[in-house]
Amino acid sequence: MLIELKIENFGIIDSLQLRCGPGLNVFTGETGAGKSLILGAVDAVLGARTGTGVVR
């Protein structure tokens, strides 16, 4: 279970800290808000390859 996520210097995100509650957590927002970028950061932590310009 993911309790907290902290992202720094990833894509357009300078610094972000998210705390997840129990049960289902949902990311919503307008196009370009960064939802996919958050999931990309989780993928990177789990070992997925990232583009050279994503991590600063």
Whole-prediction pTM: 0.78
The answer to whether 28 touches 39, Cβ cutoff 8 Å, is: no
Which residues, 6 or more positions from 16, have their beta carbon under 8 angstroms from its beta carbon? 5, 6, 7, 8, 38
44 membership: H or E segment, kind and range = helix 35-45
Query: Which pLDDT does position 53 carry in this prediction?
Result: 78
Query: Which pLDDT does position 40 carry in this prediction?
Result: 92
Q: What is the DSSP string of 2-30?
A: --EEEEEEETTEEEEEEE--SS-------
Whether 22 shows a pLDDT value over 90: the answer reads yes
